Amino acid sequence: MPPRVLVFTRTTGYRHDSIPAAVAALTGRDDLRVTASEDPADVAACDRYDAVAFVSTSGDVLGGQARDALRAFVEAGRGFAGVHAAADTELSWDWYPDLLGARFAGHPEGVQAATVHVTTGHPSTAHLPPAWRFTDEWYAFTDVRPGSSPLLDVDESTYAAAEFGMPRPHPQAWFRRVGAGRSWYTGLGHRTEAWSDGLFLDHVAAGLRWAAGQG
């Protein structure tokens, strides 16, 4: 049975034009049972799902009840996934970097093609080539928490990182344990076109299934 996933896309900061394409792509898959929402009350009622996915959320998007519910949900053994601007979310919630694994620090101007080195052995990267060429915004991160296992490492020699370089590896996707639960994140997904790219879609869908305990 496909996992039940709440795809949450509320924004109080920058809103990505790709959000409608992301929702359409994820709700159209047979390997996920997706409910899309921008209502924090649905996060507060997350016990009805196997995982909660923040897809290009931004700013503070939850109230106290939803925060408490999400933390209890994940720590008790359920799943969380973040996509792209999920790293630029819940800036006033001190626990959120523990959930996601880091915070957004910035990115070079515009989108750029770059080469991503892929760590295999995880369902969300098993289908990807070892060196994957992709076009996106390449995030840098701060407040990086220990305990994450990197999945994608962008090669800074293949694009102009400007002031947004990081010591190698420069992660773009990872997974981690949070209490008894699972957390998965990918920094990719800025462009609308990404959501019609089969390799990228399978990367995200497999990450969501892994977060939900399938994989």
Of the candidates 29, 124, 32, 133, which has an alpha carbon nearest to the alpha carbon of residue 83?
Answer: 124
- Quick one: pLDDT band at residue 159, thresholds 50, 70, 90? very high
CATH number, domain containing residue 10: 3.40.50.880
Give the helix/strand (H/E) hosting 201. helix 198-211
165 neighbors 113 (Cβ within 8 angstroms): no
Instruction: State both tokens at 168.
Output: 């190698």
Q: Compute the average pLDDT of residues 2-26.
A: 98
CB atoms < 10 A from the CB of 96, how many? 23
Tens of pLDDT, residue by residue over 65-123, are: 999 999 999 999 999 999 999 999 999 999 999 999 999 999 999 999 999 999 989 99
Q: Does 90 fall in a domain? A: yes
Instruction: State both tokens at 90.
Output: 């819940």
75: exposed, middle or buried (C-beta count within 10 Å: 0-12, 13-18, 19+)?
middle
pTM value? 0.98
Range of the domain at 196: 4-104+141-148+172-211
Gap between the Cα atoms of 22 and 9, Å rounded: 9
37 neighbors 62 (Cβ within 8 angstroms): no
The backbone region for 84, taken as left when phi is positive above 0, alpha when psi lies in -120 to 50, beta otherwise, is left
Bridge partners of 141, per DSSP, are: 104
Tens of pLDDT, residue by residue over 43-58, are: 999 999 999 999 999 9
Number of domain units in the chain: 1
Gap between the Cα atoms of 105 and 126, Å rounded: 28
Q: Does 98 fall in a domain? A: yes
- Residue 115 has a pLDDT of 98
